[in-house]
Amino acid sequence: MKLIKDTPLTLSKTTISLHWIVAVLIIGLLGSGLYMENFEAFFLMSWHKSFGVLLFAFALLRVTWRIINGWPKHTNTHPEYEMILAKVIHYVLIISMLLMPISGLITSGMGGHGVDLFGLEIIPHNPNPENPQRNMPFSESWSNLGKTVHGLTANALLVALGLHIVGAIKHHVIDKDNTLTRMLGKK
């Protein structure tokens, strides 16, 4: 089966699909993470972890596809500072979409809480032998590091995502180019 790559005028269905799947997962996970933190709604944690594992799988596919396919061509000429800013934002998004799930896995796994993918155990829980209702960390320092990285990456991701959305709107409203419409699969 031959993969259809992006052209200067259109993006492939693979590029568009991976973009929107990852976008929906990131927005949902950021929303659920903020909700859990602000309202102590930790009953959502197993869902958050499962969708985080899915994000990691799709992010790996997306990065692999980006390496195979290369970067999409710009639809218009823009000032150099805009091109640099766009590239930095894209790299922050790519690094974050990999680092968020990895740091989440480290936080939960090393904290002894385990990670399940919709009920399928990926990283086992580590129950405390003296109180099996509680978990015992495999490595508290690694779990704490993961938690710190997870939080910092979430903040970076929120900023980069906001700038990415503002940039897409700018392309559509001010520049009147087809950057946004081609990511929506339109010509």
Question: What confidence score (pLDDT) does residue 74 get?
Answer: 73
Mean pLDDT of 7-25: 91
- Residue in the structure block whose two tokens are 């699969």: 185
The string of pLDDT tens digits covering residues 73-107 is 776 678 889 889 999 999 999 999 999 999 999 99
Query: Closest Cα partner for 87 from 75, 72, 97?
Result: 72
**CB neighbourhood size of 3 (10 A):** 9
Residue type, 105: L
pLDDT on residue 10: 83
> For the chain, what are the domain ranges?
13-183
Confidence of residue 2 (pLDDT cuts 50, 70, 90): low
Helix (H, G, I), strand (E, B) or coil at 23: helix
Least confident piece of the model among 5-14, 88-97, 112-121? 5-14
CA pseudo-torsion sign 118, 94, 185, 175: positive
Tally: H helices and E strands in the chain: 5, 4
Distance CA 26, CA 20 (A): 10
Q: CA–CA separation, 102 vs 114, rounded Å?
A: 13
CATH of domain 13-183: 1.20.950
Residue 73 confidence (pLDDT): 75
Whole-number Å distance between alpha carbons of 104 and 19: 21
110: left (phi over 0), alpha (psi -120 to 50) or beta: alpha
Per-residue pLDDT tens over the stretch 146-177: 999 999 999 999 999 999 999 999 988 998 88
Strand ranges for the chain from DSSP E: 115-117, 120-123, 127-128, 131-135
Q: pTM of the full predicted structure?
A: 0.91
Question: What is the average pLDDT score of the chain?
Answer: 93
